[in-house]
Amino acid sequence: MLSSSLFGDMFGTAAMRDAFGDLAFLARCSEVEAALARAQARAGIVPQGAAVAISEAAAAVSANPASLDLDRLKRETENVGYPILPLVRQLADRAGAAGRYLHWGATTQDIMDTAAVLQIRDGLALIEADLTAVRGHLATLARRYRDTPMAGRTHLQHALPVSFGFKAAVWLDGFDRHAARLAELRPRVLTVQFGGAAGTLASLGSGPEGIESRVGMARELGLADPPITWHVARDTIAETVQFLALVGGSLGKIAYDVMMMSATEFGEAAEPFVAGRGSSSTMPQKRNPISCELILAASKALRQHAGLALDAMVSDFERATGPWHAEWIALPESFGYAAGALHQAAFMLSGLIVDPARMQRNLEMTHGLIVAEAVMMGLAPHTGRNEAHDLVYDACRAAIESDRPLYDVLLESPEVAGPLGAEKLRALTDPANYLGSVPAMIDRVLAGRG
Catalytic center residues: 280, 319
CB atoms within 10 A of CB 315: 18
Mark 121-157 as b/e (b = at least 16 C-beta within 10 Å): bbbbebbeebbebbbbbbbbbbbebbebbbbbbeeee
Whole-number Å distance between alpha carbons of 378 and 424: 9
The DSSP secondary structure of 17-41, one letter per residue, reads: HHHHSHHHHHHHHHHHHHHHHHHHH
DSSP label at residue 271: P
CB atoms within 10 A of CB 382: 13
Whole-number Å distance between alpha carbons of 330 and 237: 10
Whole-number Å distance between alpha carbons of 362 and 270: 16
Q: Which residues contact 200 (CB under 8 A, 6 or more apart)?
A: 229
Please work out, in degrees rounded to the nearest 5, the angle formed at the alpha carbon of residue 364 by the alpha carbons of 163 and 260. 60
Given a contact cutoff of 8 angstroms between Cβ atoms, the answer to whether 138 and 80 are in contact is: no
